[in-house]
Structure 1
Amino acid sequence: MKKTLGPVSLTALGIGAVIGSGIFTVIGVAIGGNPAALVSWSDSPVIDLLLHHGAIAGRPGAGPALAISLVLVAIVCALTGLCYAELASMIPIAGSAYTYTYATLGELVAWIIGWDLILEYAFSNMSVSVGFAAHVVALLDWMGIHISPKWLSPAYLPLGLQDLQGNDIYTPGWHAGFNIPAFLIVLLLTVVLVRGIRESSRTNNIMVLVKIAAILLFVFFGLSFIHPANYTPFSPNGMSGILAGGSIIFFTYIGFDSISTASEECKNPRRDVPIGIIATLVVCTILYVGVAVVLTGLVPWQSVAGDGAPVVNALKRVATTEPGGHSLHWVRLAVLIGALVGMISSILVFQLGQARVWFAMSRDRLLPDVFSRVHPKFRTPAFATWVAGVLVAIPAGLFDVGTFAEMSNIGTLFAFVLVSIGVIVLRVRQPERPRGFRVPFGPIIPVLSVLFCVLLMAGLPAKTWIRFFVWLIIGLGVYIFYSRKRSEFYKN
């Protein structure tokens, strides 16, 4: 590839990938936690079960201390991003963690990461689509259109559903309904992907600017309505809450590794890649911390728990209850548009990525050949794209944003752990192999990346770990009884 990218171009690429929908949706789950009526080990973070007082009533929220969680997550992403960059510089083709590990650590590890990436992309988009639906509801509310919540909210609501006045609409648990907007947006974008999409650089830049403008508008106009009393206590659940919040909010940084995958096109990857990664994470962290500080200053931190659109709903509360709050009426609309644009672009990119993982694994004969078939007219992996779309759309209509974010995050963190271990292993096995970029300070950064990723994983509930291990066991079963025998490396 032509080497044209410098540190500024890489930073712009990274910011475009990181600034997505997570900060508009998952931030409420991270701040408010997932409170439960009963003490349960399955709902408790693993670190609490191991080190503290055992089982607690649900996953604790970070509260206003989410700002600290965001900084912690940015540090972890910086460490892991450097590991990604080294692997990317060693592989002569651009690709994902699946491509890297297949070329360096072998088929079994590649299968595990590929299977894990399917989980990561799928649950990421389920979470985003549920958040998209919540913002569609907010947009309809802004226009004065009110539709039965039965068709605008997930069928399963662990915290129930309340209106903006705090009145119960649904009690916790299952109810007769389906999240139609979440279902439809995934299917609509699946049709777009099957027919083929070629997103221009200019269009991408415009979407990035719209998303950043939405964040800046919220921060700038929200500052005038902050109540300092909402910051007390700053860290209501201590380190357990900060860690749990970081484990969930990690979702907002998914996409930063796009910088490392572009290392092949850098003028000076040894210098430009780390600058691009660090600069991206610094800019995005400042923006995200601003959102967290303003949001927890506008409304009590407990009030955003389980809210799929906490930012715009906080603006509505202020607009309807605070003196002078009517000035936020149009700001709310602008933030809504920015959030919706961010979510559409995120769903599009991650659905494309998920289908391409299925396609790549099928091409390597690890999945059935039908997943790598290309549509005769549109020249896209149509079957893989449709399967990915249906598998995301149906659960998006049934479950809440918090469950999806937890599963997406544990999958991402696990992939990061394997990538960081891969750097260490290859330093030992192939020390002479050419590296366009080398992680500085020897094995220290990869080891720290592994430790911090495992620490963030420990902030997730025990039931999330159980679901994740079940997914991995299913994947290993598929590999042993099907994929391994089809592989070109299989020997009778």
Structure 2
Amino acid sequence: MLKALFRVKPVAPAGHIDAGEPFEGSLDGESSLKRTLTAKHLVLLGVGAVIGAGIFVLTGQAAANHAGPAIMLSFVIAGFACAMAGLCYAEFASMMPVSGSAYSYSYATLGEAVAWFIGWCLVLEYLFASSTVAVGWSGYLVSFLTGTLGMPFPEQLAIAPITWANGGFVATDGIINLPAVLIVAAVSGLCYVGITQSAFVNSIIVAIKVVVIAAFLGFGIQYVDPANWTPFIPENTGPGQFGMDGVFRAATIVFFAYIGFDAVSTAAGEAKNPQRDMPKGILGSLAICTVIYIAVCAVLTGMTHYTLLGTAKPVATALEEVLKADPGASVGWLKTAVEIGAIAGLSSVILVMLMAQPRIFYSMAKDGLMPKIFGKVHPKFHTPYVGTIIVGVLACLLAGFMPLSVLGELVSMGTLLAFATVCLGVLVLRFTRPDLNRPFRVPMFWLICPVGVLACLFLFLQSFMEHWQIFVAWTVLGQLIYFAYGFRNSKLRQKA
């Protein structure tokens, strides 16, 4: 049995793929996802997933509660870990241009049991992330409707019926977070229709929010007060609260923002030329997003003292504080633009997350680890439509009824484990299959791969120490599903 658990999926050298040509990416030698994405699409998908929740929500929370102005340093730390993992993702994605992301990579290197565990972590990552961001999207929309447009919106229809307080669930006055449910339903419908349409809409959204962020940086820098950056690293006041301990804690929280790099790799099965385009998509989006994050954090904490940024809309809050201090400041229009940009930006994050999760299920179903229904591809739209519907329904329920605070850090934990596994997988495959064609190779793999593993696991432990009960429960549930269904129906085990 132990041998079966760690049996690896055969890896064949990847041939050159042009648009429209089939690729044998699954165990039974078939893949019917439509190849339509270029390097530009992939970069925009990465930027679409990354530039959103991190800037518009998480930067303020992490700065106010953990890092202070040193949130910039937290993004450098998180960006370093992502750079290590991004290089490893680029090698895997160019070598194995198939859907499935870290799940497919770990199946080919570390065995079926590890692949299932990582696939289950990716469910935690994508499904919960789309719901988490939908709740944030709802907050910005309601703020825009009530504050900017003066339109009333019932509070009971904008918050979940339960919240997390004092270590347990507590009832609220809310009925359902209706806007969050509606945005998930709308985006799920878009993903159902097709990847090309989804990428086109995402390109428009990315353009809008990048313009808004550029405007914030350009106009906001005029109101920066260097005194707000002192002290750069506030004195430690407790575990994970300021000091370097808080900087590392904040780095774990903002890692939520880097999910997009994994999402890019899940689209490898639909890239026109994955050997050339996947490294460009992953590393290009990594470089762009890290620079943007650090710049925004610098302006944000320079405009407003970090203690005032612990809101769900820190960028808008910073502009509000400028207006309070100087009513004549010409940033009122920018606040409205930021709200619109946040609504668009968070929409694109939801889009990429809901595109990615059904494709994880698709790959797992093709390998027999999930029911066959998840592997069905729509005859007209060429999308994993059944998985898209199921994921959409589950995400609607989570977004409508679960509190934001319970989901956020669990997403970061799933992301960090997936990243660590990919770094380890590249290292293992360099020794076990040195003959494979690698259009992109990690430079100094003997150093970058181990450093990537250690960096990701170090950040993972920052959250695990506080939320270990929830994560262990999620892992146990996944193992029960695997041994009840996946282990018995594994195509790799049946062919052995």
> TM class by shorter-chain length?
0.7 to 0.9
Within 5 Å, which residues of 2 pair with 1:96-175? 96-140=101-145, 141-158=147-164, 173-175=170-172
CA contact (8 A) 1:14 1:258 kept: yes
Q: Please give the per-residue CA displacement for 1:280-319, whole angstroms capped at 9, x wherever unaligned.
A: 43432221112112222333322332x2222123323433
Cα separation, 1, equivalents of 2:396 and 2:42: 33
Q: CA deviation at 1:277?
A: 5.2
Gapped regions of structure 2 (runs ≥ 5): 1-16, 20-35, 235-241
Aligned partner of residue 254 in structure 1, secondary structure: helix
- What letter corresponds to residue 59 of structure 2 in structure 1? I
Gap change, CA 1:330 and 1:92, over 3 Å in 2: closer
Whether 1:254 and 2:259 are equivalent positions in the alignment is: yes
Give the match for residue 490 of structure 2.
487
Return the TM-score normalized by structure 2: 0.81
Aligned to 2:290, the other structure's residue is in SS state helix
Post-superposition shift, 1:257?
A: 4.4
1:323 and 2:327 aligned: yes
> Which AA in structure 2 matches 1:96?
S
| 3-state SS in 1 of match to 2:129 | helix
Rounded Cα–Cα distance in structure 1 between residues aligned with 2:96 and 2:117? 19
Contact 1:240 1:459 (8 Å CA) reproduced: no
Aligned-partner Cα distance in 1 for 2:440–2:484: 38
SS at match of 1:435: coil
Q: Return closer, same or farther for 1:28/1:393 CA change in 2, 3 Å cut-off.
A: farther
Residue 167 of structure 1: aligned partner:
none
Q: Is the 8 A contact 1:22 1:128 kept in 2?
A: no
Q: Distance in 2 between matches of 1:476 and 1:470?
A: 10
Of residues 240-249 and 228-237 in structure 1, the stretch that sits farther from structure 2 once superposed is 228-237
User: Residue 299 of structure 2: which of 294, 297, 318 is its match?
Assistant: 294
The match for 1:28 among 50, 57, 60 is 60
Contact 2:125 2:411 in 1 (8 A): yes
Of 143-152 and 242-251, the range deviating more from structure 2:
143-152
Counterpart among 445, 454, 463 of residue 448 in structure 2: 445
- Residue 228 of structure 2: aligned partner: 230
Aligned residue number for residue 341 of structure 2: 338
Q: How does 1:345-360 map to 2 (within 5 A)?
A: 345-360=348-363
Q: Which residue of 1 aligns with 2:369?
A: 366
The answer (yes or no) to whether the contact 2:140–2:313 under 8 Å persists in 1 is yes
The 2-side partners of 1:405 and 1:417 are apart by 19
Distance change >3 Å, CA 287–CA 474, structure 1 → 2: same
- The Cα offsets for residues 425-470 of structure 1, whole Å up to 9 and x where unpaired, read as 1122222332222211132100000110011112225342332222
Match of 1:455 in 2: 458
- The answer to whether the 8 A contact 2:223-2:322 is kept is yes
> Taking structure 1 as reference, are residues 134 and 213 closer, same or farther at Cα in structure 2, changes over 3 Å only?
same
- Write the distance in 1 (CA, Å) between the matches of 2:342 and 2:142: 13
Say how many residue pairs are matched.
450
Could you say if the C-alpha distance between residues 96 and 315 of structure 1 is closer, same or farther in structure 2, counting changes exceeding 3 Å? same
CA-to-aligned-CA distance 1:104-148 (integer Å, 9 cap, x gap): 433222211211111100121122101101110221111112334
Take 1:349 and 1:423, find their aligned partners in 2: how far apart are those partners? 25
Mapped to 2, the partners of 1:187 and 1:381 lie a distance apart of 16
Contact 2:99–2:359 (CA under 8 A) maintained in structure 1 = no
8 A Cα contact 2:224 2:302, kept in partner? yes
- Asked if the contact 2:109/2:428 (under 8 Å) is kept, the reply is no
AA partner of residue 226 (structure 1): V
Residue in 1 that maps onto 2:29: none
Going from structure 1 to structure 2, the CA distance change for 1:94 and 1:283 (only over 3 Å counts) comes to: same
What does 1:371-386 align with in structure 2 at a 5 Å threshold?
Answer: 371-374=374-377, 380-386=383-389
Match of 2:431, as an amino acid? V
Q: Which runs of 5+ in 1 are unaligned?
A: 34-60, 161-171
Taking the aligned partners of 2:156 and 2:295, their CA distance within structure 1 comes to 34
Identity of aligned residues (%): 40
Change (3 A) 1:159 1:471: closer
SS in 1 for 2:260: coil
CA distance in 1 between partners of 2:308 and 2:402 (Å):
20
Moved more, 224-233 or 9-18: 9-18
Match of 2:25 in 1: none
Residues in 1 aligned to 2:284 and 2:134: alpha-carbon distance in whole angstroms: 29
Q: 361-370 vs 86-95, which deviates more?
A: 86-95
Cα pair distance change 1:79/1:127, threshold 3 Å? same
Alpha carbons 2:49, 2:352 under 8 Å: kept? no
Q: Distance in 1 between matches of 2:243 and 2:415?
A: 25
Q: Give the drift of 1:476.
A: 1.3
Taking a change above 3 Å as real, the CA distance of residues 7 and 392 of structure 1, as seen in their structure-2 partners, is closer
Q: Contact 2:263–2:356 (CA<8 Å) still a contact in 1?
A: no
Distance 1:354 1:376, change over 3 A: same
Q: Does 1:180 align with 2:203?
A: no
CA distance 1:404–1:268, shift in 2 (3 Å)? closer
Deviations 1:86-112 (A, max 9, x none): 222332545512222333433222211
Structure 2 counterpart SS, 1:443: helix
Query: Which residue of structure 2 aligns with residue 312 of structure 1?
Result: 316
The 1:379/1:78 distance shift into structure 2, 3 A limit, reads closer
